Structure 1
Amino acid sequence: MKTYETERLIIKPITLDDAAFLLDLYNRPKFIQYIGDKNLRSIDDAQTYIQNRFLPQLERSGFGNYTITLKENNETIGAVGIFERDGLPIMDIGYSFLEEYEGKGYAYEAAIKVKEIGMTDFGLEKLSAITSKENVASQKLLGKLGLAYVKDISLPNEDEVLMYFETK
């Protein structure tokens, strides 16, 4: 699996070694509020989640979930990826960051790179995204990434109504 770089970031495919970071990120209040509780309570839970949720897609398609690390200090600050998601007709781009790294342009820098990788390296013609109605920052970022709101949807076996976006 290939690692990518931007001016300030290293974007690498997630591995089992990222379990401690994922456990921290997925249990942050903003992650739970906007994305949901993934019920990761231990390193073992996080490793199992990576093994079952992320690694199969990476191995099958060559792309999936990536960790985002700052070049300047090797600090892992977030995750970004393109996902196969039940209930969505096309691949879904998603991202999440530790709060202390929000508002610095990292999300745009990482997501625009992953969007480019998906479309150029892997031949994806369109991407989708979902976000909660309350997550205004994510909605704005999706607009900057060239995705437009299409409709409200609910994913299978979930009650929450989400905003659905697609590349223009």
Structure 2
Amino acid sequence: MTHFNTARLKLRTITTNDAAFYLQLINEPSWHQYIGDRGIRTLEEAQKAIVNGPLDMQTRLGFSLYLAELSETGEPIGLCGLLKRNYLEYPDLGYAFLPQYWKQGFANEAASGVLKYAKEVLNLTQILATTDTDNQPSMQLLQKLGFSFSKKIMLDKELNLFSLDL
């Protein structure tokens, strides 16, 4: 199980014990708007999605989405990590936080920690990131982290593709 800390956060591999939080986060209106509705509505479906998604990816590739918790309380506030998507050549930085934790620097802190981990532990040399074309806060965060806009790509909808050399 992977785990590392930032100034205010603990990041660790998500487990099926985190299914209630995962279910809450992926059914936030902002998740549906910018990431997509996964159709997961029960704890059992959330547990299955965690096993078949992040836990499988962690086992196969050594990285995945990590649960971001407040260091002081252990309260889960979001997800941040790396995903390997079949339509992208390199790992993709992904993040999502509960709305009450937006605009407090948590996404930047978590993403910075993940990028440091990617470079220093995983020895990765390039990271990609995609955003909905309307998600200005996410695009601003990527630019703050040093990502550069590469191009627009078309999946179910048009996305912006960003890249970062580590």
TM range (shorter): over 0.9
The reply on whether 1:165 has 2:158 as its aligned counterpart is no
- Cα distance in 2 for residues equivalent to 1:151 and 1:141: 17
Question: Which amino acid is the alignment partner of residue 161 of structure 2?
Answer: Y
Question: Which amino acid is the alignment partner of residue 119 of structure 1?
Answer: K
- Cα distance in 1 for residues equivalent to 2:91 and 2:71: 28
Name the structure 2 match of 1:53: 53
Name the structure 1 match of 2:149: 149
Q: The residue matched to 1:20 in structure 2 has which SS?
A: helix
Question: Which amino acid is the alignment partner of residue 141 of structure 1?
Answer: L
5+ unaligned residues in a row in structure 1: which ranges? none
Once the two structures are superposed, the pairs formed by residues 53-92 of structure 1 within 5 Å of their partners are 53-92=53-92
Q: Deviations over 1:9-58 (max 9, x none)?
A: 01011111111100000000011001100111000110110111111110
- Cα distance in 1 for residues equivalent to 2:12 and 2:142: 21
Once the two structures are superposed, the pairs formed by residues 97-136 of structure 1 within 5 Å of their partners are 97-136=97-136
- Cα distance in 1 for residues equivalent to 2:56 and 2:77: 23
The reply on whether 1:3 has 2:3 as its aligned counterpart is yes
Q: The residue matched to 1:127 in structure 2 has which SS?
A: strand
Once the two structures are superposed, the pairs formed by residues 26-41 of structure 1 within 5 Å of their partners are 26-41=26-41
Please report how far the alpha carbon of residue 72 of structure 1 lies from its aligned counterpart in structure 2 after TM superposition.
2.1
5+ unaligned residues in a row in structure 2: which ranges? none
Question: Which amino acid is the alignment partner of residue 79 of structure 1?
Answer: L
Name the structure 2 match of 1:95: 95
Name the structure 2 match of 1:12: 12
Question: Which amino acid is the alignment partner of residue 92 of structure 1?
Answer: D
Q: The residue matched to 1:139 in structure 2 has which SS?
A: helix
Equivalenced residue count is 165
Q: The residue matched to 2:63 in structure 1 has which SS?
A: coil
Q: The residue matched to 2:126 in structure 1 has which SS?
A: coil
Q: Deviations over 1:77-130 (max 9, x none)?
A: 000010001211111001000000000000000000001111110011000000
What is the CA RMSD across the aligned residues, in angstroms?
0.9
Segments of 4+ in structure 1 off by > 6 A? none
